[in-house]
Amino acid sequence: MGEATKLQCRCGAVEMEAEGTPIMSTECLCTSCRTTAGVLEALPGAPRLRETTEGTRTEMFRKDRVRCIEGVLDVGA
């Protein structure tokens, strides 16, 4: 399959892993995503979330290549 990408929330309660390369990479330029990224970036110690275009990057993986390693993933909430 290929290399695995590890993902986790800032508090570390949820950790995920995605195998292989994304099936799609996009950059959202909507006002909602740009505004939210700006708010999150303003938090102490937060990483930069916006690209040079001010858009937010999103990558999609096949669902059979993503697994939850730690915590509970509640996507229905």
Angle of CA points 38, 42, 45, to nearest 5°:
130
Residue 76: the pLDDT is 58
Quick check: 51 and 57 in contact, CB under 8 A?
yes
Q: Write out the chain's pLDDT in tens, 77 residues.
A: 568 889 888 788 889 999 999 999 999 999 999 999 999 999 998 999 999 999 999 999 999 999 989 887 565 55
pTM of the entire predicted model: 0.65
Residue 8: the pLDDT is 85
User: Which residue's entry shows tokens 């059979």?
Assistant: 64
Of the candidates 54, 63, 73, the residue with the CA atom closest to the CA atom of residue 23: 63
CA–CA dist 66, 53 (Å, integer): 28
Residue 3: the pLDDT is 87
Residue 66: the pLDDT is 92
CA–CA dist 59, 33 (Å, integer): 14
Segments making up each domain of the chain, as ranges: 4-70
H or E, element range at 25: strand 24-28
